Amino acid sequence: MLWLQALLFGLVPFCASKPLLPRWDDFQVKHAWVEMPRGWELHGPAPADYRFNLRIGLKQARIEELIAALYEVSDPAHDRYGQHLSKDEVDVLVAPHSDSADLVESWLTAHDIDTNAYHRSGGGDWLTVEVSVSEAERMLGTQYNVYRHSGSDDYVVRALNYSLPSILHEHVAVVAPTTYFGTIKSMKKTSFLQPHIPTIESDTDIASLLINPGSLATVPSSCSTTITPSCLRALYNTTSYTPTATAVNKLGICGYLEEFANFADLQTFFERFRTDAVGSNFTVVLVNGGENSQSEPGVEANLDIQYADGMSFPTPNIYFSTGGSPPFIPDDNTPTNTNEPYLDFLNFILAQSDVPQTFTTSYGDDEQTVPLDYATSVCNMFAQLGARGVSIMFSSGDDGVGAGDCLSNDGTNTQRFQPNFPASCPFVTTVGATFRVPEEGISFSGGGFSNYFAQPSYQSTAVSAFLTKLGTTNAGLFNVSGRAYPDVSAQGEGFQVVIGGRVESVAGTSASSPTFAGVVALLNDFRLANGNAPLGFLNPLLYSTGAAGLNDITSGSNPGCDTNGFSAGTGWDPITGLGTPDFGKLQALIG
Ligand SMILES: *[C@@H]1O[C@H](CO)[C@@H](O)[C@H](O)[C@H]1NC(C)=O
Ligand SMILES: *[C@@H]1O[C@H](CO)[C@@H](O)[C@H](O)[C@H]1NC(C)=O
Ligand SMILES: *[C@@H]1O[C@H](CO)[C@@H](O)[C@H](O)[C@H]1NC(C)=O
Ligand SMILES: *[C@@H]1O[C@H](CO)[C@@H](O)[C@H](O)[C@H]1NC(C)=O
């Protein structure tokens, strides 16, 4: 009797938890849009034999440990500060549980996908398999279509929803490309030309005025309308610093949208605006079919490289040109990959053992247009870079609290402020924009509160103080418990950029991010030159001891969504963050 009971009680749960043949056809929805993503229209079904790379992100078994480690090594008050993880240590923490790996493999095998034909990331958390549309449709219980973007006339192959066998839900974080429509051309480029702002052809006059760098009195009044590296170096107090750790320190600039940084334009820029840098160069790394056409200089790419280099010279700068593919041609039977720009770039960079200590990226999407599962996976990849000692800057967006009518896409059409992603990821440092001297927040500066990511503790004191002062203003239009941004800011208007040999005036938080990243690269140079670890993930430092090294910007507002937006004030605010950098003061603080 006793034996029988033991047998029964032991066997029943065993049978229930280990079915011999998992069912691969009891689909449960993984992500579904309730409406067609705005700006897109159905063009027709995707050709059944169209082949593309499907990325399967497995649940990372110890991701909470990775994030805890990230916070410890980034917190200047913690014993582990600066003790960044190696690539191998990160790979261990992002590895999937072996059950997840086994189950996903049996699922792929059940679909006749050759286990030798797929690529596995270092941690084993990403599998990339080449599949046809019909195979992907069977695996994901979905239908892929060709969708056309009416504004840009681009075509992509995507799905409005996708499913997974129910047994896989606790093992798979995301599958892409599926429902993320934001693609290479439709990603909002956060920079715009300013034809109405006069340009200056040379700033030797300005340079000669900079006798006493770092003193606001010596920043020439022309810097209120036209920004050059001399203005920024004076304003942010970097003029007297000479980098020396140039054999190890590097600054990475991320480029997408087939935006190419031009070598000749950089030389012209240096001849006019940073003569000591003439003859120095940047290198280009092509990622996933990225190109480097020198006949098509890009406004964004030239802005990014000229100001990143203009601020950080002689630190080596690397331009990462991430492709994806040429636009999909609906009738072509031999198309290549589909575009998943961040995943392509992040999978590439995380596979390298030696990565730049500082990155700047000036691209983004409305957060609500990025599926939550995709955004979470990408944001966790920034955490991995941070844990490895990388500082990551993103521009905050150029639409204040949101562009247009700001209606939600959840089927309710509610008016809500529209945060940007990846600006809203808590593991990046988001840079807003200022203008004029003395500095004020500029109206387009993107800022707000995430609806996806909770407010990280490093910013809770700073953000609570702002919310208390705000009272009921804008109540209901934003998420008080969300990750708040920007973290910091820098000038964002009247930047003198050489494009195709001509000087143009450019504005946008696209200008602010490379500027701030240039200052961070100098700080990393100082750390490395003294035998210290690089700064890594900056936010825990910036919101604590680092705040004293920032110039608090206390005026300006960022209207949008038919409201006045938020207003800048003393302390952190969602227009200028904690403020703009004072290199000299930060250098003293990070000793
Ligand atoms: C998924 O999208 C298809 C159109 O491609 C639609 O017919 C179906 O109702 C959608 N399912 C869900 C759960 O949203
Ligand atoms: C910069 O590098 C590119 C690519 O190697 C080269 O074509 C160009 O001539 C270089 N410019 C200078 C000034 O060295
Ligand atoms: C507000 O943000 C939290 C994350 O902090 C999220 O869970 C919640 O869904 C958000 N609310 C809305 C209405 O988006
Ligand atoms: C600039 O840096 C120096 C140290 O290099 C510091 O003494 C000074 O306070 C900083 N700020 C200004 C505005 O001068």
Q: Could you give the 3-state DSSP secondary structure of residue 45?
A: strand
298 annotated to a ligand binding site = no
Inter-axis angle of helices 263-273 and 299-312, to 10 degrees? 50
| C-beta 464 within 6 A of ligand 1 | no
Mean pLDDT of 96-107: 96
Backbone angles phi and psi of 203, in degrees to 5: -120, 30
Which of the listed residues 260, 266, 267, 281 should we mutate to test ligand 2's pocket, taking the one with most ligand atoms within 8 A of CB?
281
- Please indicate whether residue 362 or residue 11 has the higher confidence score (pLDDT): 362
Q: What is the 3-state secondary structure (H, E, C) of 64-111?
A: HHHHHHHHHHHCCCCCCCCCCCCHHHHHHHHCCCHHHHHHHHHHHHHC
Which of the listed residues 240, 242, 585, 587 should we mutate to test ligand 4's pocket, taking the one with most ligand atoms within 8 A of CB?
585
| pLDDT of amino acid 193 | 79
**Which bound ligand lies closest to the C-alpha atom of 42?**
1
| C-beta 214 within 6 A of ligand 4 | yes
| pLDDT of amino acid 258 | 76
575 annotated to a ligand binding site = no
Number of H helices, E strands in the chain: 15, 27
Handedness of CA 468, 470, 476, 477 (dihedral sign): negative
Which of the listed residues 452, 455, 457, 463 should we mutate to test ligand 3's pocket, taking the one with most ligand atoms within 8 A of CB?
452
| C-beta 241 within 6 A of ligand 4 | no
| C-beta 584 within 6 A of ligand 4 | yes
Handedness of CA 190, 358, 491, 397 (dihedral sign): positive
* Distance in Å, CA 230 to ligand 4 centroid: 16
* Distance in Å, CA 420 to ligand 3 centroid: 14
Burial of 526-549, coded b for 16+ CB within 10 Å and e otherwise, reads: bbbeeeeebbbbbbbbbbbebbeb
| pLDDT of amino acid 2 | 38
* Distance in Å, CA 232 to ligand 4 centroid: 14
| pLDDT of amino acid 12 | 41
| pLDDT of amino acid 222 | 86
Q: Which protein residue's CA is at the shortest distance from atom 12 of ligand 4?
A: 214
Give the C-alpha separation, 57 to 59, whole Å.
7
Q: Which protein residue's CA is at the shortest distance from atom 11 of ligand 3?
A: 451
pLDDT (tens digit, 9 = 90+) per residue, 372-381? 999 999 999 9
* Distance in Å, CA 419 to ligand 3 centroid: 12
Contact 437, 223 (CB under 8 A): yes
DSSP state of 197: S
| pLDDT of amino acid 205 | 54
pTM of the model: 0.93
Give the C-alpha separation, 50 to 362, whole Å.
32
Give the C-alpha separation, 58 to 493, whole Å.
42
571 annotated to a ligand binding site = yes
* Distance in Å, CA 58 to ligand 1 centroid: 24
Q: Are strands 283-287 and 420-421 parallel, antiparallel or unpaired?
A: unpaired
Q: Which protein residue's CA is at the shortest distance from atom 7 of ligand 3?
A: 452
Number of alpha carbons in the 13 Å side-chain half-sphere of residue 577: 35
Residue 320 has pLDDT above 80, yes or no: yes
Residue 555, both tokens: 């005026």
| C-beta 585 within 6 A of ligand 4 | yes
DSSP β-bridge partners for residue 435: 440
| pLDDT of amino acid 152 | 75
* Positions marked active-site: 300, 304, 510
* Distance in Å, CA 454 to ligand 3 centroid: 7
| pLDDT of amino acid 7 | 40
Q: Which protein residue's CA is at the shortest distance from atom 9 of ligand 3?
A: 451
Share of the chain above pLDDT 70, in %: 89
Which of the listed residues 232, 582, 586 should we mutate to test ligand 4's pocket, taking the one with most ligand atoms within 8 A of CB?
582
| C-beta 76 within 6 A of ligand 4 | no
Element housing 529 (H / E): helix 509-529
Residue 396, both tokens: 């905050």
Mean pLDDT of 230-259: 94
Residue 334 has pLDDT above 80, yes or no: no
Residue 19 has pLDDT above 60, yes or no: no
Confidence of residue 148 (pLDDT cuts 50, 70, 90): confident
| C-beta 263 within 6 A of ligand 2 | yes
- Please indicate whether residue 52 or residue 208 has the higher confidence score (pLDDT): 52
pLDDT (tens digit, 9 = 90+) per residue, 287-296? 988 889 999 8
Residue 98 has pLDDT above 80, yes or no: yes
| Least confident window among 105-119, 170-184, 208-222 | 208-222
Residue 339 has pLDDT above 60, yes or no: no
The 3-state DSSP composition of the chain as helix, strand, coil percent (nearest 5) reads 30, 25, 45
Q: Which protein residue's CA is at the shortest distance from atom 4 of ligand 1?
A: 160
In one-letter notation, the amino acid at residue 233 is: R
Give the C-alpha separation, 591 to 588, whole Å.
5
| Least confident window among 340-354, 441-455, 471-485, 549-563 | 340-354
| C-beta 160 within 6 A of ligand 1 | yes
Q: Which protein residue's CA is at the shortest distance from atom 10 of ligand 4?
A: 584
332 annotated to a ligand binding site = no
Task: Look at residues 588, 585, 582 and name the one whose alpha carbon lies nearest to residue 527.
Answer: 588
* Distance in Å, CA 160 to ligand 1 centroid: 6
Residue 464 has pLDDT above 50, yes or no: yes
Confidence of residue 526 (pLDDT cuts 50, 70, 90): very high
Residue 482, both tokens: 């969300």
Atom of ligand 2 nearest to the CA of 283: 2
Atom of ligand 3 nearest to the CA of 450: 2
- Measured in whole angstroms, how far is the alpha carbon of residue 382 from the centre of its chain? 8
| pLDDT of amino acid 289 | 80
| C-beta 267 within 6 A of ligand 2 | yes
pLDDT (tens digit, 9 = 90+) per residue, 192-234? 778 777 777 655 555 555 544 445 556 878 898 899 999 999 9
| pLDDT of amino acid 149 | 83
| pLDDT of amino acid 10 | 40
Q: Which residues line ligand 3 (CB under 6 A)?
A: 451, 454, 479, 481-482
Residue 480 has pLDDT above 80, yes or no: yes
* Distance in Å, CA 138 to ligand 1 centroid: 14
Residue 563 has pLDDT above 90, yes or no: yes
Residue 9 has pLDDT above 50, yes or no: no
Residue 402 has pLDDT above 60, yes or no: yes
**Residue corresponding to tokens 């270092």:** 122
Give the C-alpha separation, 487 to 517, whole Å.
13
Give the C-alpha separation, 165 to 176, whole Å.
16
| Least confident window among 68-72, 115-119, 184-188, 301-305 | 184-188
Report for 6-15, 146-155, 372-381: range of highest mean pLDDT: 372-381
Total Cβ atoms within 10 A of residue 42: 11
Atom of ligand 1 nearest to the CA of 34: 14
Mean pLDDT of 109-119: 86
Residue 233 to residues 91, 165, 250, 312, Cα–Cα distance (Å): 39, 56, 19, 10
Confidence of residue 259 (pLDDT cuts 50, 70, 90): confident
| pLDDT of amino acid 104 | 96
| pLDDT of amino acid 13 | 42
Mean pLDDT of 453-457: 98
